[in-house]
Amino acid sequence: MDYARFIRLRRPVWDGFERQLAASGKDEGLSHADLEEMALRYRQVLHDHALADARYPGTAAAQRLRVLALQGTHRLVRDRGESGGLRTFFTRTFPLAFRAQLGLLGVATALFLFATFWGLAVAVNRPALGLAFLGPEAIRGLEEGRMWTESLVSTVPPSISSSRIATNNISVALTAWSGGILAGIVPLYSILLNGMMLGSILGITMRYSMSGELLEFVSAHGPLEITLILVCAAAGLRIGRALIAAGDRPRSLALRDAGRDALTVLLGCVPWFVVLALVEVFVSPSPDLPAALKVVLGLSLEILFLLLAVQPFSRKAQESP
């Protein structure tokens, strides 16, 4: 490509990016769509800057692109000072990464529901499946009218129980997340397995007329716990998608961006797993708390997480004391 053709083809991108830089300097409250478009043009400017430095060094285009690259880096990657830290992470960084994978979260949810209904249908017709997931001791308890959850945390101190539960749930989420590097196979397996387990256990408890007790037990922690596992699995699927379908971008860059966002999502979910472990120890198995209270708590935690995860962000709000 000669210099004149390079200028003619790429100048609209540079002009557009320059206008966005000027607009962002006047308005700190850019919308999410505007920031995405600006970030895309920023990557294009960086690419053109590298090309111009290599093929047309010292030209006016190379000098202009160098200035645009520096200004774009300052605008998009600059240090936010006191507005950084946990506050920025949970009010801006995590919501951005979460919204970027909403499509894959929808896919994960659909697969999970399919596996749940499949496991329910199989367990109703083939009770042996429940024995495989629950074990003979839990089945004997159901035959005697007892839920295995009654002794789930009563044999060890609550602090140890909550630690074990949180560690187990985080391990499940971490496996689904990290397995994305294997072309998304492990996240898919985790989604289908957890859905099958939930459906089959629900089917077995229905067989012994104990499904109400099971639903009461999981109502306080189950909705958000399932959501968090699916969110982490969707992050793993995003890594897998970047590995096998990078599009017109270099695979290394696609994997880097997907891995960064996936790690952000995982770190944003970890505190919620800790909260749910405490709920599962102190609230879910308690016979003194009414079922309605557990349902309200479970729905409240779910709604609170989703509101914080998808909330719009404002840079002005970030900078306010």
State how far the Cα of 255 lies from the Cα of 81, in Å rounded to an integer: 28
pLDDT per position as a tens digit, 255-311: 777 888 888 888 888 889 888 888 888 888 888 889 999 999 999 999 999 998 987
- Quick one: 98 and 69 in the same domain? no
How far apart CA 273 and CA 253 sit, in angstroms, is: 30
Please tell me whether residues 123 and 232 are part of one structural domain: yes
Least confident piece of the model among 39-43, 182-186, 204-208, 233-237: 182-186
Same-domain status, 288 and 144: yes
Number of domains in the chain: 2
Pairwise pLDDT comparison (250 vs 278), residue with the higher score: 278
pLDDT at 223: 93
The whole-angstrom separation of Cα 264 and Cα 99 is: 12
172 with 242, same domain: the answer is yes
| Domain stops at, among 24, 43, 78 | 78
- Reported as a single tens digit per residue, the pLDDT across 4-20 is 888 888 888 888 888 88
Specify whether 42 is located in the same domain as 148: no
Q: Is residue 85 part of a domain?
A: no
* Shared-domain flag, residues 102 and 179: yes
More confident residue, 247 or 146: 146
Same domain, 50 and 102: no
Evaluate whether residue 149 is within a structural domain: yes
Taking each helix axis as running N to C, give the angle between helix 185-207 and helix 158-178, from 0 to 180 degrees, rounded to the nearest 10: 130
At residue 311, the pLDDT reads: 75
Residue where a domain terminates, one of 47, 78, 109: 78
Residue 88 maps to a domain: no
- Do residues 307 and 27 make contact, with C-beta atoms less than 8 angstroms apart? no
- DSSP letter for 156, please: S
Which of the four pLDDT bands, split at 50, 70 and 90, describes residue 73?
A: confident
Residue 140 lies in a domain: yes
- Segments forming the whole domain that contains residue 13: 3-78
pLDDT at 177: 66
Mean per-residue pLDDT, 172-195: 77
Answer yes or no: is 86 within a domain: no
- Between 77-81, 180-184, 219-223, 314-318, the lowest mean confidence (pLDDT) is in 314-318
pTM: 0.67
Q: What is the pLDDT of residue 17?
A: 84
Closest CA relative to residue 107, chosen from 270, 237, 297, 254: 237
| Residue 56, pLDDT score | 84
Q: Are 112 and 226 in contact (CB under 8 A)?
A: yes
Q: With respect to residue 83, please indicate whether it lies within any of the assigned structural domains.
A: no
For residue 219, is it within any domain? Answer: yes
Q: What's the rounded mean pLDDT across residues 18-36?
A: 68
Mean pLDDT of the chain: 79
Burial of 25 (0-12, 13-18, 19+ CB in 10 A): exposed
Alpha carbon distance 264, 234 (integer Å): 12
Structural domain includes residue 29: yes
Same domain, 216 and 68: no
* Cα distance between residue 61 and residue 65, in whole Å: 6
- 110 lies in the same domain as 191: yes
Residues 124 and 64 in one domain: no
Query: Domain boundary residue among 78, 109, 127?
Result: 78
For the stretch 93-149, pLDDT in tens is: 889 889 888 999 999 999 999 999 999 988 888 777 666 777 777 778 887 777 777
Least confident of 85-89, 177-181, 281-285, 293-297: 177-181
Q: Give the per-residue pLDDT at 246.
A: 64
Highest mean pLDDT among 30-34, 66-70, 224-228 belongs to 224-228
Does residue 179 contact residue 97 with C-beta atoms inside 8 Å? no
35-57 pLDDT, tens digit each: 777 778 888 888 888 888 778 88
- pLDDT, residue 160, reads 54
Q: Within this chain, do residues 203 and 158 fall inside the same structural domain, yes or no?
A: yes
| 101 and 70 within one domain | no
- pLDDT-based confidence at 248, cuts 50/70/90? low
